[in-house]
Structure 1
Amino acid sequence: MAHEHKPTQKMAAQAKKGLALREEFNRGGTEVGVKRARQIIDGGPMSDADVKAMHSYFARHEVDKQGKAHDWGDDKDPSAGYIAWLLWGGHDGRDWADRQHAKLDD
């Protein structure tokens, strides 16, 4: 059975920050990430497939935090990986995707 998943305001705030940093520094994220950010900001609803994609994204990109170019979490010189992470809802998005993904396996 398909579910509808509603992103949180915290996720939307992170996605907005990611879009702003991407605009300012001209790096970070793909068109897919930009679309995901807009979907989160718009408040969803998000499908089971969206949740699975987000869960996979965060699992694959946890390693980006170790990047040496620019700085993770630095708004003055953000890494491309940090900007991309924010586009997907940041840490709030990761935690949300993990919770929603766990419900899918019920």
Structure 2
Amino acid sequence: MADDRDDRIPPPEVAAAAEKGLKLRSQYRRGGTMVGVARARDLKNRKPVSDQTIKRMVSYFHRHRVDKRAENFGDDENPSTGYIAWLLWGGDAGRNWAEAHRKAIETAREEARMRRFRRPYPENLPNP
């Protein structure tokens, strides 16, 4: 999974959340940073996401999960700044997608590391 670029294209629900975040930010003139806006544009346009970006997304959602407790989080009529920022990063769909990819990245790396240290089975050794 770690090398499959098609698998790294954000799914439609992530793109839709990012697009919604961009619209709300434009409408209410608040929420998110320029990094969040750039991330939203890439997600909205469904550009493939690197391992490093996946890790950044997971980190963002972990740090900002407290934003979900804010008043007006999820309110499209008067959204909190945290809600807009959350959407810029792909919303709940983005969090779930990034977390699944982070786990797959870690699993693939661990498997590759174990292959380097695995000894061949005796039946696979050449006969003397």
Per the normalisation by structure 2, the TM-score is 0.78
Task: Note the residue ranges of structure 2 that are not aligned, 5 or more in a row.
Answer: 108-128
Tell me the residue number matched to 1:18: 21
Q: Which amino acid aligns with 2:96?
A: D
CA distance in 1, matches of 2:14, 2:70: 23
2:34 alignment partner AA: E
Any residues of structure 2 matched to 1:29-44 within 5 Å, and which?
29-44=32-47
- The aligned counterpart of 2:97 is 96
User: What code does the residue aligned with 2:58 have?
Assistant: H
- 1:58 corresponds to which letter in structure 2? F
Please say if residues 2 and 104 of structure 2, whose CA atoms lie closer than 8 Å, have aligned partners that are also in contact.
Answer: no
User: How far does the alpha carbon of each residue in 1:55-93 deviate from its partner, in whole angstroms, 9 at most, with x for none?
Assistant: 00001100011224xx00001100000000000000000
Answer with 1 or 2: which has the greater Rg. 2
Runs of 4+ in structure 1 over 2 Å off: 1-4
Aligned-pair CA distance for 1:2: 5.2
Number of aligned positions between the proteins: 104
Question: In the alignment, is the contact (CA less than 8 A) between 2:17 and 2:91 conserved in 1?
Answer: yes
Structure with larger RCO (C-alpha < 8 A, sep 6+): 1
TM-score (norm 1): 0.93
Q: Percent identity?
A: 51
Q: What is the aligned-residue RMSD (CA, Å)?
A: 1.3
Structure 1 spans left out of the alignment, 5+ residues: none
